[in-house]
Amino acid sequence: MIEPHYPKVKTGRPPFPVATTLQIYFLQQWFGLSDPAMEEALYDVPLYREFASLDGGITRLPDETTILRFRHLLEAHGIAAQILAVVWIIGGKGIDIRQDRTTESRNSCKGRTSIPNSQATVWLLEDAIPGLAKNTAQITTLFALGKLWMMRKALREA
């Protein structure tokens, strides 16, 4: 889901593994940290490094720009909604998000951008409300992580 959009560098420093950057993103969402605060927390809190699989042998940690770019990548491709869809599928609930039925209703929404998703059409009011993509991704991610937390016992037994 993330891998096709993740940068592949042939020269220079290799990017961090997708799992590592995703775990850092989750930490950032759980604790409400800004990108610079997340970078600093990775240096200051050994438990955060351990959770993100950044053991003591790694000589570098992601900087705030790396964290920012990964967050923007998730927002640009609607990955948070896809993560939520997968969580609902894992939980056996399915997901029921109503799709717009007519092209007319899409065309009548000026200032909106449609981003196709495997489960639904997500509308972002980019011009009307700055930061809505970030906030939507944050809320969706937190909802998915909360749902996983509630399902933890059933997932362990499976």
Q: Summarize pLDDT for 80-138 with one digit per residue, the tens.
A: 888 888 887 777 754 444 444 333 334 444 444 444 444 343 443 444 455 666 778 88
Please tell me the predicted confidence (pLDDT) of residue 4: 79
* For the chain, percent of residues with pLDDT exceeding 90: 27
Which stretch, 13-17, 26-30, 90-94, 131-135, has highest mean pLDDT? 26-30
Residues 6 or more apart in contact with residue 67 via CB below 8 angstroms: 21, 24, 25, 28, 35, 38, 39
- pTM, entire model: 0.65
The one-letter amino acid code at 98 reads R
Angstrom CA distances, 35 to 20, 28, 43, 100, 110, stand at: 15, 8, 13, 35, 32
Lowest mean pLDDT among 2-6, 13-17, 101-105, 123-127: 101-105
Write the burial class of residue 7 (CB in 10 Å: 0-12 exposed, 13-18 middle, 19+ buried). Answer: exposed
Number of folded domains that form the chain: 1
Polymer length of the chain = 158
Report the mean per-residue pLDDT for the chain.
Answer: 75
The range of the structural domain enclosing residue 80 comes to 3-157
Residue 123 phi/psi, 5-degree rounding, is: -100, 130
